[in-house]
Structure 1
Amino acid sequence: ADIEVRHGDVIRLEESSKDLDDMFIDMAALVRAPVTIICVLFVFQNALDYYTFQLI
């Protein structure tokens, strides 16, 4: 009976660990997303500035 209880505890711990891992992956994606958007906007602005300067 004690082994079954411990086994259940280990299973719950594994599930909690997986949930925590998923949460950190989601957080990493959320943190990275604004940086990517800023980089795209920066590149777009530089390209726009370059081509605008070429027209002058």
Structure 2
Amino acid sequence: MNKKLSLYIVVLAVIALVLAACGGDGETVEVTRIVEVTRVVEAAGEGGGEA
């Protein structure tokens, strides 16, 4: 079981490195901005727009 878990962790680490090398960080920032804008729009729609 530990061998499977170790392999899984290694695979995830490799995927993370590949995404970072391909500019994955920039895409993450874009997604974060979309989520923030969506939250602001939802808050304004509910009348809970905080100043």
- TM-score, reference length from structure 1: 0.47
Indicate the structure whose relative CO is greater, using CA pairs within 8 Å and at least 6 residues apart.
Answer: 2
Distance across 1 between alignment mates of 2:19 and 2:31: 16
Letter in 1 for 2:26: I
Moved over 4 A (4+): none
Distance across 1 between alignment mates of 2:44 and 2:29: 23
Please name the residue that 2:47 is paired with. 32
Of 36, 43, 47, the residue aligned with 1:21 is: 36
5+ residue gaps, structure 1: 34-56
- TM-score, reference length from structure 2: 0.51
Rg larger in structure: 1
5+ residue gaps, structure 2: 1-16
